[in-house]
Homo-oligomer: A and B are copies of this chain.
Amino acid sequence: MASIKDVAAQAGVSVATVSRVLNSHPSVSAEARTRVIAAVDALGYRPNAVARSLRTAQTRTLGLVISDVLNPYFTELARFVEEEARALGYSVIIGNADERPELQDHHIRTLIDRRIDGLLVSPADGGSPLMREVALSGTPMVFVDRWIPGIDVPVVRADGTGAVRDLVAHLHGLGHRRLAIIAGPAATTTGNERVEAFRDAMRELGLALPDAYIGQGDFQAASGRRATEGFLALDEPPEVVFAADNLMALGALDAIRARGLRVPGDIALAAFDDIPWFVHTDPPITAIAQPTADLARAAVRALADLIEGRTPQSVTLPARLVVRRSCGQDATDQRSDR
């Protein structure tokens, strides 16, 4: 593979001149410039990004560590993150933590070793020593979706409290009183916040949230199934199951089906995180939709700001309720499907 030296030789100039042309430095004569350009495409020369990174101490690469790529919400987030990053001239390396803290640490390690310019993280846990160390070390870092209290980096996330309140009101309006939730891991902010928002919204309507109606999940489908089986085995099972993410909702649906029950006839179902498939499930599932594309864009921009020395903004965008048929029909509550 041709190097800058070969180009210099071919063009009859020094490597410095070649470098200047490539970086469109002003002080190069028109003649030298054309000769260099000719040599560059005669040789099919492409600058070695590794060498360039070593010298300039920047890689124009962002690291994105997400909790679970197979979760459509995160897939979509990753896709928009890459899109915005590309628009700003960055590449993205995605690390999939699979909701496993040690895997998350592994990815952070290798990303730092590769000297990525900044890190976008949706933490799978409450924060490892490594994560604190990285944040303290001055590596530009932004939390997206989930964050870690006590680590002082910008956070870009959706606020679901309003939408959860809307959801609970919707359920209440349909006559449901016994509402259960499948929570995410307590170590994640989204795990806690969604339960709290749910509890608060219920309290406002004078409903209690007994412990038996709080299932412990881990944002994976299997845990949604287990938690739902637990609910269904109660003497007085809930009338509604609200899953704190889409995969657990899928598991819940499995468990309900396995019992031979029907949604929403026998039990209602709702989920946090809306995804295209929810339109096509049987029945279509009522969900709380996050503005994923906007979150991704804001997160990348905050990180780029941090990297390039500007002042980054923490951003919180509202999530919104999307009513479908999985909680029952309600003539006063019709909305568009997507």
Q: Across the interface, do A113 and B282 meet the contact criterion of CB distance under 8 Å? A: no
Residues of A221-262 whose CB lies within 8 A of B: 221, 250, 253-254
Q: Which of B50, B51, B96, B106 contacts A59 (CB 8 A)?
A: B50
> Closest CB-CB distance, A32 to chain B, in whole Å?
24
Please, what's the 1-or-0 string for A266-286, where 1 marks a CB less than 8 Å from any CB in chain B? 000000000011011111000
Within 8 A of B (CB), among A97-123: 106, 109-110, 112-115
Integer count of this chain's copies in the complex: 2
The residue that A93 contacts in the complex, of B91, B109, B115, B276, with Cβ under 8 A, is: B91
Q: What residues of chain B lie closer than 8 Å to A54, measured between beta carbons?
A: 48, 50-51, 54
Interface of A is mostly: helix
A53 within 8 A of B: yes
Chain B residues contacting A86 (CB-CB under 8 Å) are 106
What is the minimal beta-carbon distance from A277 to any residue of chain B, in angstroms? 4
Report the contact-size class of chain A (Cβ under 8 Å from the partner): 35 or more
- Residue ID in chain B nearest A51 by CB atoms: B54
**Out of B53, B82, B280, which one reaches A281, CB within 8 Å?**
B280
Contact of A276 among B75, B115, B137, B250 (CB under 8 A): B250
**Residues of B close to A250: CB separation below 8 A:** 276-277, 280
* Among A1, A76, A253: residue with most chain B CB under 10 A: A1
**A174, CB-defined interface residue at 8 Å:** no
One of B48, B75, B82 near A75 (C-beta < 8 A): B75
Q: Which of B53, B115, B254, B280 contacts A282 (CB 8 A)?
A: B280
B48, B221, B253: the one contacting A115 at CB < 8 Å is B48
Contact of A94 with B by CB under 8 A: yes
Q: Which residues on B sit within 8 Å (CB–CB) of A112? A: 46
Interface string of A74-86 (1 = CB under 8 A from B): 0110110010001
Chain B residue nearest in CB terms to A139: B1
Nearest-CB distance from A118 to chain B (Å)?
15
**A70 adjacent to chain B (CB < 8 Å):** yes
User: Does any Cβ of B come within 8 Å of A264's Cβ?
Assistant: no
A49–B253 CB distance below 8 A? no
Q: Are A113 and B49 in contact (CB under 8 A)?
A: yes
Residue A69 interfacial (CB < 8 Å): yes
Q: Can you report 26 A-B residue pairs in the complex whose CB atoms are below 8 A from each other?
A: A44-B133, A46-B109, A48-B54, A48-B115, A49-B113, A49-B115, A50-B53, A50-B59, A50-B114, A50-B115, A51-B54, A69-B75, A70-B72, A86-B106, A91-B93, A93-B93, A94-B94, A250-B276, A250-B277, A250-B280, A254-B279, A277-B280, A280-B281, A281-B282, A282-B282, A282-B283
Chain A residues in the interface with B (C-beta under 8 A)? 1, 44, 46-51, 53-54, 59, 69-70, 72, 75-76, 78-79, 82, 86, 91, 93-94, 96, 106, 109-110, 112-115, 133, 137, 221, 250, 253-254, 276-277, 279-283
